[in-house]
Amino acid sequence: MTRLTLLIAACLFAVPATAQTPAANPADVASLEAIMAATYASISGPAGPRQWDRLRSLFAPEGRLIPTSCNADTGACGARPLSVEEYIARVEPFFNDNPFFEIEVKQIAERYGTIAHVFSTYESRRDPSDAQPFVRGINTFQLRFDGTRWWVVSIMWVDENSAGPIPERYLP
């Protein structure tokens, strides 16, 4: 092994699981399809607590959730990277008081070796039986495989808006 290879390997395997990373259900992390479904299921539900330990178990310790938005008045756009714990703290009060059901309606996945990128078009409803979603958008997932299981490294998302409708190729 070259010195660079050893340095890279040390960096890759130096991030230990933390007390905030519970063991995952093996079925949730066995495939790209499974981890995607588990991610959506962990944040969806009627008003009340979510499956936060399940969500924690899906993310790499260094994982991030990154909402993006644009200011309608100024046009300035930005992103706010959040740890899993920061994300939970941000959305938990809303989810405790409001139903929220997000489903994937189309997925475009690309994989090379131990990494994958998934463009996942979503629809959010207050009730699964609602005819129309109150918002749609695209999640972009970055995932890695450690030889045993899949990990979510990051999810960045943008809601659809009148200035930027979702392109046809990302719709069902």
**Complete domains list, the chain, with CATH:** 23-161 (3.10.450.50)
Q: In this model, does residue 10 exceed pLDDT 60?
A: no
Query: How confident is the model over 16-36, as a mean pLDDT?
Result: 86
Mean pLDDT value across residues 126-145: 97
Give the residue-averaged pLDDT of 57-84.
94
* DSSP assigned state of 46: S
Q: Which residue has the higher pLDDT, 163 or 77?
A: 77
Contact (CB, 8 A) for 32 and 111: yes
| Helix residue ranges per DSSP H, 44-172 | 52-58, 84-97
The pLDDT assigned to 20 comes to: 59
pLDDT at site 12: 45
- φ/ψ of 144, rounded to 5, equals -135, 150
pLDDT at 71: 86
Distance CA 147, CA 117 (A): 17
139, β-bridge pairs:
120, 157
Name beta bridge partners: 16: none
| CA distances in angstroms from 140 to 13, 25, 46, 134, listed in the order given | 24, 23, 25, 20
Q: Is the pLDDT of residue 172 over 60?
A: yes
Tell me, what DSSP letter sits at residue 100? B
Distance (Å, whole) CA 89 – CA 82: 10
Q: Across residues 112-117, what is the average pLDDT?
A: 98
pLDDT of amino acid 75:
84
Backbone conformation region of residue 48, classed left if phi is above 0, alpha if psi is from -120 to 50, else beta: left
